[in-house]
Amino acid sequence: MNNGFHPRAGLRSNASLKWHRGLNKIYDDILRTDDLYQRLCIITQGIVDTFGADFCRIWIIKPGDICDEGCIHAREARAMHPCQDNSRCLHLAASSGRYTSIQGTHKRVPFGYYKIGRIASGLEKKFLTNSVTTDSRVHNHKWAESLGLKAFAGYQLRDSIGDTIGVLALFSKHSISQDEYAILENVANTTGYIIQAGLSTERLTKEIEERRRLQNFFRQISAEQKTILQNVNLGIVREQNGYIVWSNDPLGKIMGCRSQDIIGHPIETLFQPGDEVSGILDELRSMARYGLGDSKEILINNRFGKKLWCRLSVSLIDFEDVRKGSIWILEDITQAKKAEIERKEIKKQLLQAQKMEALGTLAGGTAHEFNNLLQAISSYTSWLQNNNRDPKFSKYLSRIQTSVKNAAGLTKSLLSFARTNDGKKTAVFPKTIVKEISILIRHSVDRKITVDVKLPDDLWPIMANAQKIHQALLNLCLNARDAMPDGGHLLIEATNVTWPDGSGPSSIILPPGKYVLFRVKDTGCGIPQELRQHVFEPFFTTKETGKGTGLGLAVVYGIVKAHKGAVYFDSEPGMGSCFQFFIPATEISISGFKRTKQQVKGEGTILLIDDERDVRESLKKIIEMLCYRVLVAEDGQEGLEMYVAGRDEIDLIILDMIMPKLNGSEVLHRLHAMGSQTPVILLTGHMTEADMYNFLSLRPRKILEKPTDLPRLAETIHEILKDSRTIS
């Protein structure tokens, strides 16, 4: 051989004895441990001790594990011996002698490179040289020479079927004989079996550990799932072969039953006989069989007698294509259902409010023009009544005035609807209003209708416009009367409530506090379901043509909202209706009402400013009847010019609010700017809340709504002029 190997003629007896003792010690020590890596260390150390090797190492074939963590043999251009296949890599498992660490450059060796890689890949199944400093197969001669190394031996480690599973290699400072080489080959063969057994045991141990880990994991998951299933707000039932085999605790809380009471029974036993859910259960089962998962909302009665809205769904359990049963899930959605109903009710109220606001704007503009017409008719009629000498015309003139008053009442209803904050509010006693209404109603309804009134002695006062509350109650009572053409019972009552107290539906939006609740209840025909959403709409009526304007309940709605209250009703066809509204209570003391003074005449000069010719001329005639001198102007600009020209002789100004060129507000501003002390009566066909505050800030002496009648106008003029002259 040309590899520097020098065979010996024979073994000396002492060397043979040393090898025999060394091998026996290796085998004895191996039997003392079951750990593979400790056994491999025993082998490498035993070879160093027995054969005098400088160092001995064992590598095991495993997949690459540090390829992405800086392994110098990773497939890169900079690597001297790049790894070609990281699925097979030599892992340094044991090292004894000069090098005891299994880290460093050779902790991983790629197949096909270096002596170790060539042995593992089969390029050199055996590798023996006694000239490591000159053998071309040894890549680092200087390193070997610096350490005084002379010989190298390397062996494939194979398993029982001949597959390579590792490499055993050693360096020595003395030559390795043929006998030593043969003994070391036997050691390598035994090491291969040890590694095979160790790896099998290692894999088995890992499998057992993994199985235990998985068992613990699934046991933990099962416990967690059980905890979750017992704490969710869902009732869960497992059904198998048509019978309940398990249920969670929340189901019992929802349905009012215990698990032991339903186990072994069909799912249908969860529900009460009146629930009528069998068809729904069959439908859900059918949909689940075809993979069409769905849920159904059902109204049921639990065993506590409580009505519940629930969402019910079912899922089938399949395992390895075998049907294992089904899971039913029952969710209590009662609160969500109530919230949904309340949201719909609030949305309906919002739409109603928007509709009322739009129609109110229209009504306000119409009322202004209509009141101007009524003012002219009323004034001309008053003039005719005062100058009429023919008695036969008197009754017709009176009828005209009556018609004007009726039309004015209709206009005020429109204005009440249009102005959500109309009218001056004072502390009033609701008991007085209810009693007045009851007296009026008892005299206006058929005797077949009985009227009852219920009022507590301690009824709280309210901050309100008494006339408006009076009108709201009157409208409700008249509606109740019309709903009982064949007779019945009418109840009018008022009571103290502290909101919220459950006295009304939860959809009512009111600030917490004290309220007086007014109630008008009848035993009439009731209101059909399809008409209920329209009852507060203006001009909506179910009465025959000519028997109703459709404004009654719309006016009630507007009055209540203007008082920061709320109105609602309950009704059943054939059972009657009950309308109720809240008005905030107050602790302010109640003041009395002023009595109307008698009509009087007077003297002085009055400047009348109005752009409507009929209004202007008719008012001029009736004011002149009161013995006053009247100057007229057809717009604000002309009125100011006339005032500047004759301010010393003008005692009073009657001013229209809406006019071209200069409106009433602008005229008042300019009068104040010039320092005028002349009192002003503001005459308006319609005034919004913003207008009211604007004009009050300009301090007119009085605001009168059109149409105003002669007595009221006469009294107002007389009082203002009397006060003005007293001050001057």
Q: What digits encode the pLDDT tens for the residues 81-95?
A: 566 666 778 899 999
**Fold adopted by 342-412+597-728:** Rossmann fold (3.40.50)
> Which residues have CB under 8 Å from 99's CB, separation 6+?
55, 57
Q: What's the angle, vertex CA 717, arms to CA 713 and CA 719, rounded to 5?
A: 115
Going by pLDDT thresholds of 50, 70 and 90, the confidence category of residue 359 is low
pLDDT attached to residue 461: 92
From the number of C-beta atoms within 10 Å of its C-beta (0-12, 13-18, 19+), residue 501 rates as: exposed
Listed in order, the ranges of the chain carrying CATH 3.30.565.10 are 420-584
Q: What digits encode the pLDDT tens for the residues 381-439?
A: 888 877 777 777 777 787 787 777 767 765 665 555 445 444 567 788 898 888 878 87
Q: What digits encode the pLDDT tens for the residues 626-668?
A: 889 999 999 999 999 999 998 889 999 999 888 888 888 888 8
Q: What digits encode the pLDDT tens for the residues 112-127?
A: 777 888 888 887 777 8
Q: What is the pTM of this model?
A: 0.39
Helix 334-387 and helix 613-625, axial crossing angle in degrees, nearest 10: 60
Residue 337 pLDDT > 90, yes or no?
no
Domain spanning 420-584: CATH superfamily: Histidine kinase-like ATPase, C-terminal domain (3.30.565.10)
Listed in order, the ranges of the chain carrying CATH 3.40.50.2300 are 342-412+597-728
pLDDT attached to residue 163: 87
Helix 334-387 and helix 710-727, axial crossing angle in degrees, nearest 10: 80
pLDDT attached to residue 546: 45
Going by pLDDT thresholds of 50, 70 and 90, the confidence category of residue 6 is very low
DSSP for 333-344, please give it: -HHHHHHHHHHH
pLDDT attached to residue 696: 64
C-alpha Rg value of the chain to the nearest Å: 54
Going by pLDDT thresholds of 50, 70 and 90, the confidence category of residue 687 is low
Q: Which helix (H) or strand (E) holds 239?
A: strand 234-240
pLDDT attached to residue 2: 35
pLDDT attached to residue 453: 93
Residue 635 three-state SS: coil
In angstroms, rounded to a whole number, what is the distance separating the alpha carbons of residues 196 and 190? 10
CA distances for 227 relative to 252, 334, 373, 615, angstroms: 16, 25, 80, 84
Residue 616 pLDDT > 60, yes or no?
yes
Listed in order, the ranges of the chain carrying CATH 3.30.450.20 are 232-332
Residue 399 structure tokens: 């009828």
Q: What is the mean pLDDT of the chain?
A: 80
- pLDDT above 70 covers what percent of the chain? 80
Domain spanning 13-205: CATH superfamily: GAF domain (3.30.450.40)
Q: What is the mean pLDDT of residues 310-335?
A: 78
CA distances for 638 relative to 296, 414, 479, 650, angstroms: 76, 32, 49, 15
Q: What digits encode the pLDDT tens for the residues 42-52?
A: 999 999 998 89
The residue with greater pLDDT, 590 or 208, is: 208
pLDDT attached to residue 490: 94
Q: Which CATH number fits domain 232-332: 3.30.300.30, 3.40.50.10470, 3.90.1150.10, 3.30.450.20?
A: 3.30.450.20
- pLDDT above 90 covers what percent of the chain? 17
Listed in order, the ranges of the chain carrying CATH 3.30.450.40 are 13-205
In angstroms, rounded to a whole number, what is the distance separating the alpha carbons of residues 678 and 364? 30
